[in-house]
């Protein structure tokens, strides 16, 4: 079986690659990257490095030819229109290259009434794949827990979690757990079912006071909950033009659309996803050792 993983130098793609390398020989894995010369380290360990430009269909067809499993991690564009156009190119190229199965990354914020800026793309993804000639499986992530670690010093300074979601709860998964599940599904015939959609979450969700309590316990600093408005959140975190996208995601959270909990991770891996407190405690220790983070 020949695998190709896109976005292999990004946050999730690189983790999926790492986990897949534990399950199949490197000689069976190709990586799709935007700039081949920047992926020399991947080639040095025996991986085939191929150019992937989501806007260049001919290039993608060539790179996808003779590949059985395409692990598709979308680009980080901030609007649904760009990602939908990208997806159309990926599907067309995969069909022309006769890829046997596509494993695509989704997100829980895909409901028809979801105000998240990218919900249109994530809602379109399963419908478009269903209309294609491809066999497909989708793995939907919940919110990544990882950003909470570098965010913690700011929360300690503020003495509050400020996510504008009111009384609603949020569900989380770690990048590492997500990547493990992707690799397991990609390499296991029984899990890689045509049309199957998995949603990855930990075994519970968290209201913001509950999240604040976990952050208080792992940091040793009292953290409460004092939400800002959606506009204030957008203005605070508009680096790189991401402010509205981020605030729209928490707008969805405030409507109770990001609180889904499933046992899909357990179904895939045979064990629960890492609990939030356990994950944060471990990552915080690593961050303290590496960066001398002031959190006690």
pLDDT on residue 167: 97
Q: Strand locations in the chain, DSSP E?
A: 3-6, 29-33, 48-51, 69-72, 101-107, 135-141, 143-144, 160-161, 169-170, 172-173, 196-200, 206-207, 224-225
pLDDT on residue 76: 86
Token digits of residue 123: 């809602």
Calculate mean pLDDT across residues 6-16: 92
Question: Is 17 within a domain?
Answer: yes
What is the extent of the structural domain holding 55? 3-142+174-200
What does the pLDDT look like over 209-219, one tens digit per residue? 999 999 999 99
Question: Is 276 within a domain?
Answer: no
User: Distance between CA 65 and CA 234 in Å, rounded?
Assistant: 42
What does the pLDDT look like over 102-119, one tens digit per residue? 999 999 999 999 999 999
Name which residue leads in pLDDT, 230 or 34.
230
89-94 contacts: CB < 8 A, separation 24 or more?
A: 89/54, 89/55, 89/56, 89/57, 89/60, 90/54, 90/60, 91/128, 91/129, 91/132, 91/134, 92/57, 93/57, 93/60, 93/61, 93/64, 94/60, 94/64, 94/70, 94/132, 94/134
Question: Is 259 within a domain?
Answer: no
For residue 291, name the pLDDT band (cuts at 50, 70, 90). low
Structure pTM?
0.94
Token digits of residue 229: 């408005």
What does the pLDDT look like over 233-242, one tens digit per residue? 999 999 888 9
| 183 has a pLDDT exceeding 80 | yes
C-beta of residue 16 within 8 angstroms of C-beta of residue 183? yes
pLDDT exceeding 90 applies to what percent of the chain? 89
Give how many domains the chain has, as a whole number.
1
């Amino acid at each position: 079986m020949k695998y190709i993983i896109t976005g292999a130098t990004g946050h999730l793609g690189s983790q999926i690659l790492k986990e897949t390398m534990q399950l199949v020989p490197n000689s069976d894995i190709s990586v799709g990257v935007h700039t081949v010369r920047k992926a020399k380290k991947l080639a040095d360990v025996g991986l085939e490095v191929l150019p992937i430009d989501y806007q260049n269909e001919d290039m993608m067809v060539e790179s996808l030819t003779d590949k059985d499993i395409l692990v598709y991690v979308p680009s980080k564009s901030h609007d649904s229109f760009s990602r939908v156009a990208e997806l159309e190119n990926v599907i067309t190229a995969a069909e022309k290259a006769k890829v046997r199965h596509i494993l695509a990354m989704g997100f829980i914020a895909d409901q028809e009434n979801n105000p998240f800026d990218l919900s249109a793309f994530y809602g379109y993804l399963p419908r478009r794949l269903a209309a294609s000639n491809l066999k497909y499986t989708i793995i939907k992530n919940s919110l990544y827990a990882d950003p909470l670690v570098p965010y913690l010093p700011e929360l300690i300074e503020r003495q509050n979690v400020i996510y504008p979601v009111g009384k609603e709860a949020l569900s989380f998964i770690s990048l590492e757990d997500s990547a493990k599940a992707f690799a397991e599904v990609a390499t296991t015939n029984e899990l890689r079912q045509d049309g199957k959609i998995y949603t990855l979450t930990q075994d519970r969700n968290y209201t913001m006071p509950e999240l604040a309590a976990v952050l208080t316990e792992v940091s040793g600093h009292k953290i409460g909950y004092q939400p800002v408005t959606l506009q204030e959140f957008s203005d605070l975190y508009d680096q790189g033009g991401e402010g509205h996208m981020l605030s729209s995601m928490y707008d969805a959270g405030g409507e109770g659309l990001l609180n889904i909990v499933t046992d899909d991770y357990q179904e895939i891996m045979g064990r629960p996803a890492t609990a939030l407190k356990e994950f944060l405690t471990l990552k915080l220790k690593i961050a303290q050792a590496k960066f001398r983070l002031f959190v006690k």
